[in-house]
Amino acid sequence: MKSVLDNHPSLKAEVEKVAEVAGYLWQKGWAERNGGNITVNITKFVDDEIKALPAISDVKQIGITLPYLKGAYFYCKGTGKRMRDLARWPMQNGSIIRILDDCASYVIIADEPVQPTSELPSHLAVHNRMLEQGSPYNATVHTHPIELVAMSHTKKFLQKDVLTRLLWSMIPETKAFCPLGLGVVPYELPGSEALATATMHELEDYDVVLWEKHGVFAKGLDVMDAFDQIDVLVKSADIYLKAKCMGFEPDGMSDEQMKEMSVAFNLPK
């Protein structure tokens, strides 16, 4: 079947990155059934030929007005679609959308009329904010990492920066590669406006936020960057849990060792 990716190699490479990450999410056990979403701003890969493509869906309302998204293009995972299927067939389990000039609606333009993720308003609201800030970030990822969700089931880990401090202290690379740490959003209904608003608020200070008893939401330069930040946090969570399973509370790196890391890597906190 003909695909818009066929004669757009840089766009193809970007969508293939999404497919690669979708495969990782499934293999790691973070993406049961249709769990999780990925949205990538692909506007910079769009040429006149893609701009001229006709809509293959009705005009759909986003539900909010997002002024910085005027004329932007996104690759979005489809609603109800499985990450493990997207890994093999990204254009049958996701689609490319164009935001219309009213900044409040969109159409699907390629390859098939796959309806985007149920969390589209929150993903697009985050993209809108990133563009408003002139941020170089292009990707948002939501997934259900087992260890981090398990840790979100106790109030002590939901206090500001308690989990950040603990996870950073498990292995030096976590602070180096997730230098802003992990924000926390108290439980809200999946897909709700309250969840979107609270997520936006936490993303002012963090690249990755934990949704209590649900999952994580990350933003990144591209989909790999967003995945890597989640991955290093989960690595730390896993080390913590393995130590606990061996019957002891891990010491963690000392404050001095953490400070030394911040200086050596020129980290913000």
Which residues are tagged catalytic?
119
Angle ∠(26,30,32) on CA atoms, nearest 5: 70
Choice from 8, 30, 36, 122 touching ligand 2HA (CB under 6 A): 36
Residue 34 in contact with ligand 2HA, rule: CB under 6 A: yes
Distance CA 178, CA 167 (A): 10
Q: How far is CA 142 from CA 22, 76, 111, 245, 247, in A?
A: 11, 12, 23, 28, 32
Count of residues that bind ligand 2HA according to CB under 6 A: 9
Site track for ligand 2HA across 94-133, x = CB under 6 A:
-----------------------xxx--------------
**Site residues, Zn ion (CB under 5 A):** 215
Which residue, 23 or 35, has its beta carbon nearer to Zn ion?
35
CB of 197 to ligand 2HA, least distance (A): 15
Residue 187 in contact with ligand 2HA, rule: CB under 6 A: no
Within 8 A by CB and 6+ apart from 151, the residues are 157, 163, 237, 240
Q: How far is CA 264 from CA 33, 140, 257, 258, in A?
A: 42, 29, 10, 10
CB of 214 to ligand 2HA, least distance (A): 7
User: Using CB under 6 A as the criterion, which residues of the chain lie in contact with ligand 2HA when the complex forms?
Assistant: 34-37, 117-119, 142, 190
